[in-house]
Amino acid sequence: MSCIAVVGSINQDIVIRVPRIPRPGETVHHGRLARYAGGKGANQAVAAARAGATVSMLAAVGTDPDGDDLLRGLIAEGVDTTHVARVDSAATGTALIAVDDAGANSIAVAEGANFEIDPADITSAIAGIQPDAVIGQREVPDDVTNAAFGAAPPGLRVLNVSPVDEGVAIDFALVDIAVVNEIEAAQLTADSNADDPAALARALATRTHRGCVVTLGGQGLVAHVDGQTHVQPAFPTTVVDTTGAGDAFCGVFAAALAAGRPVETALRWGQAAGALAAATPGAQPSMPRRHDIRRLADSGT
């Protein structure tokens, strides 16, 4: 069984399902309120654990009740929280999410404790865990992710480069495989071929050790890994909530690669996980189980 360290965010998601996403200055009524465990890092950790990996979460939460609840949830999923710091300098991260009837979302995040992580603590934790793979994303400071990747033993370092902004300070020389959506890939490469996902994947792959995966939502994905281009169509699904779909892909894709599965298989498993997650409301609750992932991935669809 592979050992994965996930370095990233833990959030309390407050979700309102509304007929449509409000425009600036607009109020939309008839919403339905729900609270879910979330945060891209925690979502990816749960996805990898449900896919069969041994997972350690490297993160921070506040000393508030939300922090207590979120840690209990991770432990219940079999995720090791030994290296999740409790900080009293900030509240546990919170995301306010509006989801419309088509499953699209709009998200506002208060990072809170996620931005209080000490890079030295992460370096020490990685040295102690010696994971087969490290997963990172950009809901924690980039120097925290750089510290984790820099301390990681030879293996697999997967970076979900989301969210992308002008301040990206990730050292891509430390990244084995980058995972982005089409818009993020164009932002990172300033590539004139923004309408050619394969070109975007090849361009970003040159900045990493092994390659890049460009996810395309309902159109599937294009990847350029280890010098080979891969195209994986999307699996049919009824979209309910896309909030955790990308995290499901990353966690399961990394878990499959760390377990020694071929790139093509890992991409297919990740794509199946994303489809299953999009069909279920909430972020962490939507992370699929291994048997469901396998069933869809092996369906031949």
Q: Can you tell me which residue has the tokens 């010696």? A: 130
Q: Catalytic annotation on 165?
A: no
Residue in 166, 121, 112, 165 with CA at minimum distance from that of residue 140: 112
Per-residue pLDDT, 50: 97
Q: What is the spatial distance between Cα 243 and Cα 288, in angstroms, rounded to a whole number? A: 14
For residue 139, what are the contacts with CB-CB under 8 A and spacing of at least 6? 8, 9, 11, 39, 40, 41, 93, 109, 111, 114, 163
Show the CA angle centred on residue 46, arms to residues 43 and 51, nearest 5°. Answer: 125
Domains of the chain as residue ranges with CATH: 3-297 (3.40.1190.20)
Catalytic residue among 121, 247, 292, 298: 247
What is the chain's pLDDT, residue by residue, as a tens digit (301 residues)? 689 999 999 999 999 999 999 999 999 999 999 999 999 999 999 999 999 999 999 999 999 999 999 999 999 999 999 999 999 999 999 999 998 988 888 989 999 999 999 999 999 999 999 999 999 999 999 999 999 999 999 999 999 998 888 788 999 999 999 999 988 998 888 755 667 899 999 999 999 999 999 999 889 999 999 999 999 999 999 988 888 899 999 999 999 999 999 999 999 999 999 999 999 988 899 999 999 999 999 986 5
Per-residue pLDDT, 193: 62
Q: What is the spatial distance between Cα 49 and Cα 131, in angstroms, rounded to a whole number? A: 14
Per-residue pLDDT, 194: 66
Per-residue pLDDT, 158: 98
Per-residue pLDDT, 104: 85
Looking at residue 45, what DSSP letter applies? Answer: H
Query: What number of other Cβ atoms are within 10 A of residue 105's Cβ?
Result: 18
Per-residue pLDDT, 92: 98
